[in-house]
Structure 1
């Protein structure tokens, strides 16, 4: 943070004005210094919050995070009608990006995470996760060198010498992690094998953010519909011209607190006049012959989901949340998978944590993995996780990841 403020704020100002104190004290220069310093601080705090989430490489998200913070600072300057230096503001942004990239490269080279593992239980499953240097222990002795923590399966019955070892490590200031906790933080999936008071408490989403998010969803959906309305009308017209049938496809989905609602999508399949609420019609395969030529493009780019902005306005959906499942599939999975219905404790979303990590799923095994992603989202329900999903959604729209 200190390096970014020095390199991104003071260096460009010093290069422009040098020892000219009068130049430093110009009103437009003071506004620029305050705005850029605020943008850097906000951007790096946001980046640190994002970095706590699984699978986030800070160097990848530093540009979008800082771009958002600098745009917010610029918007504040324009709204307050404050003069600012139009040359130093973008220069500060560019120099900050350079500094953050260099700092993260050095940090990544010299700060590899090292975690020691107490044997027993489910710790053997951690070896497949490559982001960490794992140090399995044979005896209750700490390995040499820097150590970031100790991993233990706390559900197993430990021998007395291991229990004393863990207690000594905790007293020495070494962080102790349960194997399930560390696996969750590294994979972004929350597995639930049984419910308890602690489980239910950790899965209750933040009620305040739930209300705030609903208001922001409504505002952004209204603005998006106003801006995109000509494009939406054009897409609907092209769909009608390509194949007979309505432009909008309506299907019953299970939403917030288990309530059914009609989700809206652009039609991407040939219209056969049959209801789309059966179990067979709810499943889409990789080479589904029902999908039209235009439909493939709409699905790959997720344009077919845009009519769901009306569902957001009606309070049935959110921009981000677990994807709403069809009524027959929801009923089927509820019988097959424990706690499946708990995913409806938050509003379903146009995009979600499972979609940006896993993509489209069909089988029960994949749906169980999707459920673990949904539970992770509910437990870590926050604006930072929503922001990360928004960034990744833009990337998958470009790449077409996970579409069917």
Structure 2
């Protein structure tokens, strides 16, 4: 959500956070309206005393929704609507569990009412601000549009975003020092190309922009904002050192992994055994397939999967291909439904993996890619996962070129991983399970 009144020095993320915060505070009226409806229903005996009390308790999921939207403001703009759906629905879906843990009686109708009103409120705010404001950027260097297309790889990806890009208005050269003539208050920032040749006039223009408190974006930063990927071709050594872990969230995430995996044990364990029996009856060979993969901080571990290919002697590591003739008839089904990944929940319980993170790669591939792609080892700053940002955005990588694209998504995840991003990945993963996107 965006607003037209802001300082040009604000980043796009900070500006969106400010808009979400303001809209959420105004949305307290939604809670008051819900409470008033509940009170009226109680007076006419159309609802019990629990209805208005439940409305008051629903201020908690409302606050969680606002917090998630605030913290998810850095996400790419094309993911805004999906994240809005997740952030508004998840807290209210979890509300009955919270009431049960507190042994607090509640009204399901009240939870539904507050959810519908708050979801409508945040959706209205999203579309209102989206219609009033698109991220307006000017570019200083003429090479910026072409460089953006090179970095994004697909011009249509750029044209679909709510970003207006135009050249910066600069008067013709004269004896006086050149000055920016654009109305910078209408700009969210100015894009510069760090690779563009520099001279005294260009430096004066940049200084002029700084004095006007205009935010400067590199072309790589804009490409990341649009695509949700790190730009590997321009990733410098100092940028890699800036990537770091998040110990507090790592701990929360580890506890969540254990809790969710154990809670779902009565569901996934019988399903795993049934699928494994089908594998065993379909073709000769073991039920399970194991392989050495590389995990957090480069540590090797043994990953487990249900065997989906013909049982063969160990061969050189290679990528699975579409319509791979090694895949069995049962293997095609369990790959498409991702049932072959279920044994990896044991790896999650052991701490080798997380539910969400970059997919663990084979040790042989890691050695090759780390040599050819300098940024590759930094994907191991976090635990690998059953699903990840690269999987829901790209799917399966077939070779080195697609692996580089996959890495750009993985490094974006390493740089930004948070509850907001993990919730979005979980939602997109659930949707993918119904489509089979990315299966091999």
Q: In the aligned structure 2, how far is the partner of 1:267 from the partner of 1:351?
A: 19
| 1:392 correspondence with 2:428 | yes
Q: Displacement, 1:319?
A: 1.1
Q: In the aligned structure 1, how far is the partner of 2:148 from the partner of 2:287?
A: 48
* Structure 2 match to 1:160: 200
Which of 324, 336, 343 aligns to 2:372? It is 336
Q: Displacement, 1:311?
A: 0.8
Conserved 8 A contact 1:322-1:347: yes
* Structure 2 match to 1:46: 68
Conserved 8 A contact 2:230-2:412: yes
Instruction: Describe the shift of the 1:155–1:208 C-alpha distance in structure 2 as closer, same or farther (beyond 3 A).
Output: farther
Q: In the aligned structure 2, how far is the partner of 1:397 from the partner of 1:248?
A: 21
Deviations 1:302-326 (A, max 9, x none): 2211110111111111111111111
Conserved 8 A contact 1:360-1:403: yes
* Structure 2 match to 1:88: 110
Q: In the aligned structure 2, how far is the partner of 1:331 from the partner of 1:228?
A: 33
Deviates more, 1:302-311 or 1:379-388: 379-388
What are the within-5 Å matches in structure 2 for residues 173-212 of structure 1? 173-193=213-233, 198-212=238-252
| 1:376 correspondence with 2:412 | yes
Deviations 1:275-332 (A, max 9, x none): 15x22xx321111111112212211222211110111111111111111111222223
TM-score by length of 1: 0.89
Which of 323, 332, 350 aligns to 1:287? It is 323
**Which structure 1 residue ranges, 5 or more long, are not aligned?**
none
What are the within-5 Å matches in structure 2 for residues 69-218 of structure 1? 69-120=91-142, 122-126=144-148, 128=155, 129-130=158-159, 131=161, 132-137=163-168, 139=170, 140-142=180-182, 146-193=186-233, 198-218=238-258
Q: In the aligned structure 2, how far is the partner of 1:158 from the partner of 1:94?
A: 54
Conserved 8 A contact 1:35-1:73: no
* Structure 2 match to 1:258: 298
Deviates more, 1:298-307 or 1:143-152: 143-152
* Structure 2 match to 1:301: 337
Conserved 8 A contact 1:123-1:152: no
| 1:4 correspondence with 2:40 | no
Paired residue total: 397
CA RMSD of aligned residues (A): 2.7
Conserved 8 A contact 1:359-1:403: yes
Deviations 1:253-290 (A, max 9, x none): 12222222211111111223x115x22xx321111111
Q: Displacement, 1:162?
A: 3.4
**Which structure 2 residue ranges, 5 or more long, are not aligned?**
1-23, 150-154, 171-179
* Structure 1 match to 2:80: 58
Deviations 1:40-62 (A, max 9, x none): 22113212333421254433333
Q: In the aligned structure 2, how far is the partner of 1:3 from the partner of 1:84?
A: 26
Q: In the aligned structure 2, how far is the partner of 1:354 from the partner of 1:86?
A: 37
Q: In the aligned structure 2, how far is the partner of 1:258 from the partner of 1:2?
A: 45
Q: Displacement, 1:194?
A: 7.3
Instruction: Describe the shift of the 1:86–1:317 C-alpha distance in structure 2 as closer, same or farther (beyond 3 A).
Output: closer
| 1:14 correspondence with 2:54 | no
Deviates more, 1:315-324 or 1:379-388: 379-388
Which of 290, 301, 314 aligns to 1:275? It is 314
Conserved 8 A contact 2:220-2:234: no
Q: In the aligned structure 1, how far is the partner of 2:237 from the partner of 2:365?
A: 29
